[in-house]
Structure 1
Amino acid sequence: MAVAALVLFVVMMLLAGDLRTLLQRRRTGDTGNRRNWADRGSTEWWGLALAELGYLTVGIAAPAAAFSGLPPIAALDHPAAHITGVVIAITGILATFGAQLAMGSSWRIGVDETERTALVTTGPFRLIRNPIFTAAAAVFLGLTMMVPNAIALVGLICTITGIQIQVRLVEEPHLRRIHGTAYTDYASRAGRFLPGLGRLPAERHPRAET
């Protein structure tokens, strides 16, 4: 399973990273990558760094440790769990790429405070505000189920922590600033990571005087 997990990780990086960036550049002339724009030590920097550390830990370090003889956690090491992990990882990879494509020219990695992109509320974004992050988290959950050692679990925790920081403390405040009521109204209908969960309170609009 370690070999399969490593292969799926590479596929994830090529599809959701390299290919999506190439398509964005061809479509808009811009890669959409703002990852390196975050100030070192800032909240966004920590969110992105933790998530990327988690990705590499689950996708590379955990399989490498398995190759070196690190035993899996016995309670999690079952063939059915491994197969389920494969299914979750593959589904997550396809869902990640599909959600990225659904963002069209608004797709970005990281935040540029001077930039105003269109608010996407269609497709998978109709029910979930962050389907890319949801699908990516599913990928790394699946990979962890395939290679369930202690290193993979640490990596999964880093991944989820980094995603939470990026979404809650960086991207949501940014979208509120640039889209105002349009975003809060949307966020009152769509869940944060799952349908119906993590919706924000809708802003009350003053009634017009008659």
Structure 2
Amino acid sequence: MIIAALVLFGVYMLLGFGIRTWVQLRHTGDSGFRGISGHPGDPEWRAGVLFVVALLAGLLGPIAALAGLDAVAVLIHPAIQAGGMALALIGITATVLTQVAMGTSWRIGVDDTERTELVTTGPFALVRNPIFTAMAITGIGLVLMVPNAVALAGAGLLLVALHLQVRVVEEPYLVRTHGEDYTSYAASTGRFVPGLGQLRL
């Protein structure tokens, strides 16, 4: 299961970041990569750094298992590992599909000088951040495949990082860029889960 987790992590990074960036570059002439927002020490910068660290931590769980770190005993069960693999596969697939639904508006990071189309259809009609929801599902699935302390800490970091990235970076940018169009959309659409986290006007 450790090797399977490493393979799925590699597929996830390849599809969700590598190939997606290549597709964006081919279709628009722009990679869509905007990097970490803000200046060192700013809340936006800290959120971005934590996001990168959390992604890397997803790799450290299986590596720690290969190095001999034991799994958390209560989570060692074939059904849990199989369920984790299913969740990871669902999350990877959902990540790719939601990125496709975002079209040429897809970006990694934000640039205050640029205005992209506000996408509110497809999976974005259900939640405002379906890519991040899919990433969280993937992360949880990978942890359940190799449930050691390092993997669990990485999953916790990922959930915190996704929340901060949305609250500190993405949402303020969208409010500044799209104004009432975004606030009206956000008031009726959940942040990560349908019906939860609507923006209060």
Q: Give the TM interval when normalised to the shorter protein.
A: over 0.9
Q: Which runs of 5+ in 2 are unaligned?
A: none
Distance 2:14 2:164 in 1: 24
Letter in 1 for 2:99: Q
Pairwise CA distance, 1:38: 4.0
Distance 2:43 2:112 in 1: 14
In the alignment, what sits opposite 1:95? Answer: 94
- Quick check: 42-51 or 18-27, which moved more? 42-51
- Counterpart contact for 1:111–1:171, Cα < 8 Å: yes
Letter in 1 for 2:45: W
* Paired-residue identity, %: 52
Distance 1:87 1:93 in 2: 10
Cα RMSD after superposing both structures: 1.1
In the alignment, what sits opposite 1:62? Answer: 61
In the alignment, what sits opposite 1:205? Answer: none
Letter in 1 for 2:27: R
In the alignment, what sits opposite 2:153? Answer: 154
- The correspondence of residues 171-182 of structure 1 with structure 2, limited to 5 A, is 171-182=170-181
In the alignment, what sits opposite 1:208? Answer: none
Pairwise CA distance, 1:144: 0.3
Pairwise CA distance, 1:37: 5.3
- Counterpart contact for 2:36–2:48, Cα < 8 Å: no
Letter in 2 for 1:39: H
- Counterpart contact for 2:37–2:48, Cα < 8 Å: no
Distance 1:27 1:130 in 2: 23
In the alignment, what sits opposite 2:12? Answer: 12
TM-score by length of 1: 0.93
Pairwise CA distance, 1:200: 1.3
| CA distance 1:181–1:95, shift in 2 (3 Å) | same
Pairwise CA distance, 1:98: 0.7
1:34 aligns with 2:49: no
In the alignment, what sits opposite 1:106? Answer: 105
Deviations 1:74-126 (A, max 9, x none): 11111111000000000100100111111111100001011111100001000
- The correspondence of residues 111-150 of structure 1 with structure 2, limited to 5 A, is 111-150=110-149
Number of residue pairs aligned between Structure 1 and Structure 2 = 201
Q: Secondary structure at the match of 1:69?
A: coil
Question: Where has structure 1 moved over 3 Å in runs of 4 or more?
Answer: none
In the alignment, what sits opposite 1:25? Answer: 25
Pairwise CA distance, 1:196: 0.6
